[in-house]
Structure formats: structure tokens, C-alpha cells
Structure 1
């Protein structure tokens, strides 16, 4: 396995490193740390010598940060590579992803959908849309420790099955809660209202029974994969709009990690269509692992 982690000088990066060290991984996992020196807005009034001093201070600070990061990660991972680039963070990180082709990219998600800029949140937003591999987003606050409480969301799709397979392959996982969402009626509701009230209620109940049956079937499909891996499985059918319901369940259960599958769309298609996985990443109170094809 090869992981790539994007860091900046923020406190969020400290939490990412702590989370990575605690997250279950194979001993042979190799990590590439990427840090991009974004252009500084240096006022001309400080003069050439002042500008040079400021840039030297930035380089020294980054060098000290990356030396510390390397030492910490080398305690948990087989090999650690550090890459420093100059330029726009999101563009440079995506370039390194193309060069190194990691299995998983780890980034912060603080400020995920705020205005664009040279922030780790802006990077996360671009990674969601353009990264061709699985992505783990870590919020500003995490509780990293032993015995992760994982929540896996499934809709019965191949993407969800793939995500379940990834969870089953994580070393040391003992318990997973699988959730599947029963969506409320949308356009169907407007059509049913044209019938007599009693007939409308009967048909609405039939719609919801069918959706609950599909949710139970989706859960069963993931349960087999996880139980084959000797993982204790809990399951629950929940109701609501998918992203909101999943995040609400994760918050209620105090999940340490949310895992969702993704169709792996990138670029314009991802931005135009949106997805449950992107909405979950925006709302989640805990780290989110988005498993792409």
C-alpha cells in the first residue's frame, strides 16, 4: 500500500499525523508526505533584505515541521518520503498524485467548502473532485485511539460493496456499524396526492416498505464480507435524506470513522452531479474515508 498525505503548517496537519499513526494499516505501507510552499504576499515596503529574511524563515519552519513529521511517521510506517514543491497547493498535490499513483490520499477537511484559497480546506475540495484514488479527509478535531468505531454507509451498489471490502481488509478492526438509508418520498409524493386519501396512504406505505426491504438487502450484502473477516457487525436502517441521515447517525453513535463508496467521477462530472460522498465529507464530524474504484 502507498499513502500520500498533504500537509501545511496549520494545527490541522498535527491532527492528521496523529490520526495516521493510530489508523490501522499494513506494516509495509509506504507514505509520501507532500508540502507545497504557496506564494507569500510579501509587502514591498520591507525591502529586498526583509523579503529574503521572511522567505528564509518560512523555509526553516517548513524544514523543521517536515523533519518532525518524518520521525513520527517512521515509527509507524515502513518508509516515508518527503516532497516539497512551490506553487498552488491543489495543483501541485494533484501533480504528485499523478506521479506517485497512491492507493490512498489523506488530507484535512477543515473549511472544506469555504471560499478557495491557499488552505488545506481548499485542497480537500479539489481532491474530492479530481483525485483518481480513494481519499481520507480528517477534520480539525479527531479522537484517534485504539478500537476504532467504524460506520459504513451502503446503498447496495458496487461502490458500497467495494468500500465494505476495504473495511474488511483493515487490520485489527473488531466492530463496524452498517447503515442504509430509506429515502423519503419525493416526486412520488406529489403523484400519490392525486389519489383518494386512503389509496394514497396505502400506496405510500407500499413504496416505503419496498425501500426498507432494499435497505435491508444492501446491509446484508456488506454483512457477509465483514463477518468473513471475523468482524463484529451491527446494522441499522435509518430514514431521511442520505447524507444528512448518515452524518446524523455517525454523530449519534460517536463514530470514529465514516466509510462511504464513490463512483469515482472526477472533474466537471463530479462537480456537476455532486454525490452523497461529497455531501457527507462536507458535513461529517469525524474523519471520512471515501473509497473510489
Structure 2
């Protein structure tokens, strides 16, 4: 998949220049179109001038003199900023013409992020491209205000935030996959870009087995002794260690394998990795260690709520990443991900009965952990004894009538 309609914002800053190059590179081989936009804020400057008028020296306080100053200021600001806009857009237009890419320059007046959002909503491009920072770049603010506002509120299209020169030669595309529809949309997009640029694709899934280890002691300390006994913290921790965490790792690995099959079908050379830890820092470090030329993320993850503007991991990675970040919006029609062939392991009715006693939220992961246990021992079916064996390892099994 290459983009057909690309919108790029320019302001003459270093990241803006890099964004223009990236936009042209991603336009579909001359078959796509590119719109370049610059927004200037003449009215804001006019308002600020009026705010400063009371502080002008006395000789400028006469109304006639003030009117002359206002007219001169308005003429310089409006005309001068329009000339600056033309100057910002001209080099990009020349590059587009040299590559045979249809290019439309657009100049708008108003607040930068407001006008960019308006134009994106009106034009509905396949991809918007922005420099991650503008002229006000400082080390303490790695993502500029305009870029962050557009990232938050332009939720229906893909957005590329550019920090580095656009080059994927010998630099992989890294994509985060968590099994959600949004992550598979990101994977499909990343695979297409990697295949088009003949560069490797690195698909990484991160699960967190450490969270409960930190939380359980806090909960235990907050509960009275009787409640601690009823909650049975040692057994709960064993349940997570032996069933839930192992099942979670298996689930993420399985989803990643399905994603790899999708990427290979799109012509990408894909490598997969399952990593334990907190999602945001692990993906960040993984991309940095691989020297990624592009980090691709779904706009949302598995735990999306309707009120959410963007997933917290995606937002934080967009802020902290040191490479270019492509945020992929959800698709109206979810990406079709191939199912992997796998020999089914039959369960006896007795084994199913024991599994039914596992809490519903953990049942799917428990099933995978038991099946992994059975496969590792070369068994052909899941029996009651096999389930109880896993349960005993997790501290949940007891006597003959005890279940997980």
C-alpha cells in the first residue's frame, strides 16, 4: 500500500523540510498527489499589536499616528507573511515537479493547528505529514504543540511525524503488534512500506508479566489479615506466574505469528520478537537498538475506550521516539489476518469441567498454558490429570476434587 493523497504542513523549520521530502517519497510513484500547506497568523499579530499600543511612547499615542502605524503594520504582516508562505512552498513544489508528482500549494490564515485540522478534515488525505517540531524546538519539548494537537484530534487518517531524514536504506521498519485490529492495520501499512523500499520489517509484541508482582504487595499491605487469607496472595501469584503470564506470552506470540504471515504475503522480509516488560519503553528501546528508520504504531491498542483520542502507548512513543513515527488510524474494514494451521488438541469432558472453575478472565490464557504443557510432553489430548498438573504447579491444585 502506497499513499495516493498526501497532505504536508511546512513552516521552513528543519523538521518541516524533512517532512516535505518524506511526503514526496511516499507519494505513489508519480500516481499520487501531494498538497503542501503553510498557515500564517496575521490576525494574531494584529491583536498583539493592539495589546501593546498602550505601552507605546507618547508621540505615538495620537489616534491619527496610531492609525498610520496600524495600517503599516497590517500591510507588512499580511503581505509579508503571504510572501513567506510562498517562499516556504516553492522548494517543495520544485521537487514535486522534478519527480513528476502533481502538487497543490495551499496558504491559510489563522491558528496553525486549527487550520491544519480544518484542511485535513475537509480534504481527507490518505496521509498527513508534519515535522515533529517547528521553529520553537527545544530539547525539553520533543513534540511540538501543533504536531501533538493534530496527532490528538485528526483521528481518521494516518499521520507521519518526521524527526530524521527520510531514508530506509539498511534501516528496518519497526511495527508494534498487540493483536488488536488497529495494530494489524499498522502491520499491513508497515509491511507495504518495507516491501516498497526493500528494507526489513521488525514486528515486536510486548507483554507485561511484572505488573502483578509490583501490585500484589501493595494490595496485600492495604488489606486486613483476614482479607489477605481469603484472597490467598501466594496462590494468586502462582496463578499469574504459571498460567496467566505464560498464557499471555503464548497469546502474543500467536498473534505475532499471524501478523508475520500477513506481512510475508505482502512481500515483506519480516522478523518477529516477543519482549517482556512495559510496552512503551520496550518498543522505544527496541526501535532504537535496531536503528529503525520508521516506527509504525496503531492509533489504539487492545483496551481502547470510546472516550480515548489516542492510545497512551502510541501517544508517549510519538513524544519520546528518536526516529520518524507513523501513526495508523483504524480501518473501516478490519484487516484480514490469516489463521495459522495448527493441530487441535482434544479435551476430555472431565478436563473441560476442571477448566470451567478458572475465573472467566483467565480461562483463555489458562487453556493455552495447559495445551502448551501437554504439547511439551508429547501428549495427544488434554486430560483431567494434565489440567490438575498445571494447577498444582500454579499452587491452585489440591485434592481430588480441587480444580484450578
Q: Normalized against structure 1, the TM-score is what?
A: 0.84
| Deviation for aligned residue 1:68 | 1.2
Among 247, 252, 277, the alignment partner of 1:240 is 277
Superposed, which structure 2 residues align to 1:70-219 within 5 Å?
70-76=93-99, 78-110=101-133, 121-131=144-154, 132-139=156-163, 141-142=164-165, 144-170=167-193, 171-187=196-212, 190-191=215-216, 195=232, 200-201=237-238, 203-219=240-256
**Pairing 1:16–2:53 present:** no
Partner Cα distance (2:249, 2:215) in 1: 20
RMSD: 3.1
The one-character-per-residue Cα deviations of 1:118-160 (angstroms, maximum 9, x if unpaired) are xx82221111121121111112x34525354100110011111
Are residues 187 and 128 of structure 1, via their aligned partners in 2, closer, same or farther at CA, if it must alter by over 3 Å?
Answer: same
Are residues 220 and 12 of structure 1, via their aligned partners in 2, closer, same or farther at CA, if it must alter by over 3 Å?
Answer: same
Contiguous gaps of at least 5 residues in structure 1: none
| Deviation for aligned residue 1:218 | 1.9
Are residues 147 and 190 of structure 1, via their aligned partners in 2, closer, same or farther at CA, if it must alter by over 3 Å?
Answer: closer
SS where residue 190 of structure 2 aligns? helix
Partner Cα distance (2:168, 2:264) in 1: 23
Partner Cα distance (2:5, 2:18) in 1: 20
What is the aligned partner in structure 1 of residue 268 from structure 2?
231
Partner Cα distance (1:181, 1:83) in 2: 41
Are residues 66 and 184 of structure 1, via their aligned partners in 2, closer, same or farther at CA, if it must alter by over 3 Å?
Answer: same
Are residues 109 and 270 of structure 1, via their aligned partners in 2, closer, same or farther at CA, if it must alter by over 3 Å?
Answer: farther
**Pairing 1:270–2:315 present:** no
Are residues 145 and 67 of structure 1, via their aligned partners in 2, closer, same or farther at CA, if it must alter by over 3 Å?
Answer: same
The count of corresponding residues between Structure 1 and Structure 2 is 284
What is the aligned partner in structure 1 of residue 36 from structure 2?
33
Q: Normalized against structure 2, the TM-score is what?
A: 0.63
| Deviation for aligned residue 1:85 | 0.3
SS where residue 118 of structure 2 aligns? helix
Contiguous gaps of at least 5 residues in structure 2: 61-68, 221-227, 331-404
**Does the aligned pair in 1 maintain the 2:113–2:150 contact within 8 Å?**
yes
| Deviation for aligned residue 1:289 | 0.8
The one-character-per-residue Cα deviations of 1:217-266 (angstroms, maximum 9, x if unpaired) are 121121011111222111111122111211111111110100111249x9
What is the aligned partner in structure 2 of residue 256 from structure 1?
293
| Deviation for aligned residue 1:199 | 7.3
Identify the structure with the greater strand proportion: 1
Q: Which has the higher contact order (CA 8 A, sep 6+)?
A: 1
Are residues 23 and 226 of structure 1, via their aligned partners in 2, closer, same or farther at CA, if it must alter by over 3 Å?
Answer: same
SS where residue 19 of structure 1 aligns? helix
